[in-house]
């Protein structure tokens, strides 16, 4: 995926001679060999009545195994081919910042100065600027490209439209260009003038809806230049999947959204409304161009070739393939040990012991709704180490929408990598990109004093939060020490048929577990969520006991 080294030029060159140009491969070529080997056929004997008589069994392929036919590739393999074609031929992005490692230890090299560190990963790693939009494309979410002008944000979005099977003409016609005069009619459509003259009732007016509303890939360029009122109409379409004009409603199916902006602070002609920013699932950062790849630009200028005109047919998805990929992604399992660690991580941030007296209200949302800043409250002593306790580093917690997005993209990343299930490293790599605009740092936290660059580099900051949470999880041996495990297992067996004696025993077990926690530990963030879970079980059992008493 990196650039092939060329032979060094001779120190001197004879007059009238020229260096031989480096041979270039066809930019429209897609390797015939798969990036990952396809799943092997699993052959099992199928029972047949004839076995009773002749002792034979028919060998068949187990239903549900992923076995592409010769010469074809499944949607996951096509996605991998698309990634490598884009990164090798279309988008010059030599930044492998989504790193994975094999059993071999990665090489780490430290530079003098401020101590910058380079890591050389030992497994297949990826460029976030190419991979993240592709995952967003597969999982039908909403991505925001941010970065300076001319860094390929819109070009990348256009490429995803081409992968969906649209022509360049269709995509360019469908791109919504943010500008200060953009009206709701410009965005969505217009009522037919003849109907406006003839109609006696509103429902008789037909709307000429814009064609882009029905497309599987939707692109909004410079969305922070759209007027506030039009942003509200865009929000309804993006978040709820429908648009409304004069009581007429049109619905758009699930689609992949790509929005662009030159910064992520809501700047531009108009401030971006908070609800619209909150609906964006993932942020893709357009990094600067590496000057030592200038010869690739030179080749494009001299050859007159544009990547968007060379997209191979082999990597273009049909609607059926996109539907299949989406369904397959949703089926990727998250093993319980991985899910428990994700729960532990997401439990670290919303809790604030100083936010309220009532236990259920000890949330940073309560502080915000009271019109206060977290930093004002967090300055007070709460008896906790504000470096070790991650809650001090954020102004807010992770919403339900944020958790759902993490699950979806983790499944998509595992699917893309060809893994049968989500791994812990999938979560570690993808989560920072999903929370970059969801978790807001509390810059007064002492955790930022020792590493001030974390206030600028949110990806590194969130990954450090993840690593700290996982380190704490292992220190606590939470897989075994979590007091919820046995009580939750009992509860999950159901309440039907339990006697009042058994219910009272379980209620006592829960009360003793909470009492033990109160003596052994301060009310830390993960303890807080554990206690509320205990209270939930306690209430369910109490309600059931009341029902038993009512029945007599």
Which pLDDT band, with edges at 50, 70 and 90, does 44 fall under? very low
In this structure, which topology does domain 141-288 adopt according to CATH? Rossmann fold (3.40.50)
- Please tell me which residue, 472 or 62, carries the higher pLDDT value: 472
Residue 25: per-residue pLDDT: 62
**Of 39-43, 308-312, 546-550, the least confident:** 39-43
Which pLDDT band, with edges at 50, 70 and 90, does 45 fall under? very low
For residue 95, the Cα-to-chain-centroid distance in whole angstroms is 19
Residue 61: per-residue pLDDT: 36
Mean pLDDT of the 301-320 span: 92
CB atoms within 10 A of CB 400: 7
- Inter-helix orientation angle 128-139/75-85, to 10°: 150
- Inter-helix orientation angle 424-435/336-346, to 10°: 30
Q: Each residue of 220-264: pLDDT tens digit?
A: 999 999 999 999 999 999 999 999 888 888 998 889 999 999 875
Using an 8 Å Cβ cutoff, are 446 and 393 in contact?
A: no
pLDDT higher than threshold 70 for residue 68: no
Distance CA 239, CA 119 (A): 39
3-state secondary structure of 549: helix
Which pLDDT band, with edges at 50, 70 and 90, does 312 fall under? very high
Using an 8 Å Cβ cutoff, are 272 and 231 in contact?
A: yes
Which pLDDT band, with edges at 50, 70 and 90, does 268 fall under? low
Distance CA 551, CA 542 (A): 14
Q: Each residue of 433-483: pLDDT tens digit?
A: 999 999 999 998 888 888 888 889 999 999 999 999 999 999 999 999 999
pLDDT higher than threshold 90 for residue 1: no
Which DSSP symbol is given to 220?
E
User: Residue holding tokens 């992604």?
Assistant: 329
pLDDT higher than threshold 80 for residue 341: yes
| CA pseudo-torsion sign 449, 451, 452, 457 | negative
pLDDT higher than threshold 70 for residue 266: no
Q: Each residue of 115-156: pLDDT tens digit?
A: 899 999 999 999 999 999 999 999 999 999 999 888 899 999
Residue 69: per-residue pLDDT: 47
Residue 378: per-residue pLDDT: 86
Mean pLDDT of the 88-98 span: 90
Report for 37-46, 99-108, 406-415: range of highest mean pLDDT: 406-415
Q: Each residue of 10-33: pLDDT tens digit?
A: 444 444 444 445 556 666 667 654
Percent of the chain residues topping a pLDDT of 90 = 64
Mean pLDDT of the chain: 86
**Of 77-81, 99-103, 190-194, the least confident:** 190-194
pLDDT higher than threshold 70 for residue 2: no
3-state secondary structure of 78: helix
Residue 262: per-residue pLDDT: 86
Nearest to 99, CA basis, from 425, 415, 449: 425
Distance CA 472, CA 379 (A): 24
Using an 8 Å Cβ cutoff, are 214 and 205 in contact?
A: no
pLDDT higher than threshold 80 for residue 267: no
Q: What are the residue ranges of helices labelled H in 244-293? A: 274-278
Residue 59: per-residue pLDDT: 37
Using an 8 Å Cβ cutoff, are 405 and 281 in contact?
A: yes
Residue 540: per-residue pLDDT: 96
Distance CA 395, CA 443 (A): 9
Q: Each residue of 505-546: pLDDT tens digit?
A: 999 999 999 999 999 989 999 999 999 999 999 999 999 999
* Location of each CATH 3.40.50.300 domain in the chain: 141-288
CB atoms within 10 A of CB 142: 20
Residue 23: per-residue pLDDT: 59
**Of 82-96, 197-211, 459-473, 523-537, the least confident:** 197-211
């Amino acid at each position: 995926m990196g650039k092939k080294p060329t032979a060094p030029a001779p120190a001197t060159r004879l007059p009238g001679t020229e260096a031989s140009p480096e041979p270039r491969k066809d930019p429209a070529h897609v390797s015939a060999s798969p990036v990952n080997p396809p799943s092997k056929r699993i052959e099992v004997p199928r029972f047949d009545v004839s076995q009773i008589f002749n002792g034979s069994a028919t060998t068949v392929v187990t239903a549900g195994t992923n076995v592409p036919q010769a010469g074809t590739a499944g949607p996951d393999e096509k996605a991998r081919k698309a990634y490598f074609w884009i990164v090798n031929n279309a988008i010059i992005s030599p930044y492998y910042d989504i790193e994975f490692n094999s059993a071999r230890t990665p090489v780490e090299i430290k530079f003098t100065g401020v101590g910058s560190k380079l890591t050389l990963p030992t497994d297949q790693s990826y460029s976030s600027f190419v991979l993240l939009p592709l995952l967003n494309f597969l999982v039908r979410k909403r991505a925001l490209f941010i970065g300076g002008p001319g860094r390929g944000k819109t070009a990348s979005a256009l490429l995803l439209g081409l992968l969906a099977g649209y022509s360049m003409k269709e995509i360019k016609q469908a791109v919504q260009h943010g500008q200060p005069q953009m009206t709701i009619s410009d965005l969505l459509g217009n009522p037919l003038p003849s109907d406006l003259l003839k109609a006696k009732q509103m429902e008789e007016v037909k709307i000429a809806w814009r064609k882009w509303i029905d497309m599987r890939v939707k692109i909004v360029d410079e969305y922070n230049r759209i007027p506030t009122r039009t942003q509200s109409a865009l929000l309804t379409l993006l978040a709820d999947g429908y648009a409304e004009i004069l009581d007429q409603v049109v619905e758009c199916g699930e689609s992949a959204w790509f929005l662009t902006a030159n910064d992520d602070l809501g700047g531009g002609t108009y401030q971006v409304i908070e609800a619209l920013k909150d609906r964006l699932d993932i942020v893709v950062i357009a990094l600067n161009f590496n000057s030592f790849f200038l010869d690739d630009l030179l080749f494009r200028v001299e050859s007159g070739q544009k990547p968007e005109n060379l997209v191979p047919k082999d990597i273009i998805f049909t609607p059926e393939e996109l539907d299949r990929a989406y369904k397959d992604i949703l089926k990727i399992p998250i093993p319980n040990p991985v899910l428990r660690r994700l729960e532990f991580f997401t439990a670290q941030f919303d809790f604030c012991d100083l936010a309220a007296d009532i236990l259920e209200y000890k949330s940073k949302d309560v502080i915000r709704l009271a019109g206060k800043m977290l930093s004002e409250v967090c300055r007070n002593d709460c008896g906790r180490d504000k470096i070790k306790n991650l809650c001090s580093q954020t102004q807010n917690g992770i919403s339900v929408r944020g958790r759902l997005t993490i699950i979806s993209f983790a499944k998509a990343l595992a699917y893309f990598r060809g893994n049968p299930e989500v791994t812990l490293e999938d979560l570690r790599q993808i989560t920072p990109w999903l929370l970059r605009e969801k978790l807001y740092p509390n810059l007064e936290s002492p955790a930022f004093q020792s590493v001030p660059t974390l206030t600028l580099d949110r990806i590194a900051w969130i990954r450090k939060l993840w690593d700290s949470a996982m380190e704490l999880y292992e220190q606590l041996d939470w897989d075994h020490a979590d007091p919820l495990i046995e009580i939750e297992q009992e509860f999950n067996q159901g309440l039907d048929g339990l006697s009042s004696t058994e219910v009272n025993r379980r209620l006592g077990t829960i009360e003793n577990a909470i009492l033990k926690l109160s003596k052994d530990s301060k009310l830390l963030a993960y303890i807080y969520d554990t206690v509320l879970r205990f209270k939930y079980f306690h209430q369910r059992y109490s309600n059931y006991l009341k029902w038993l008493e009512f029945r007599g």
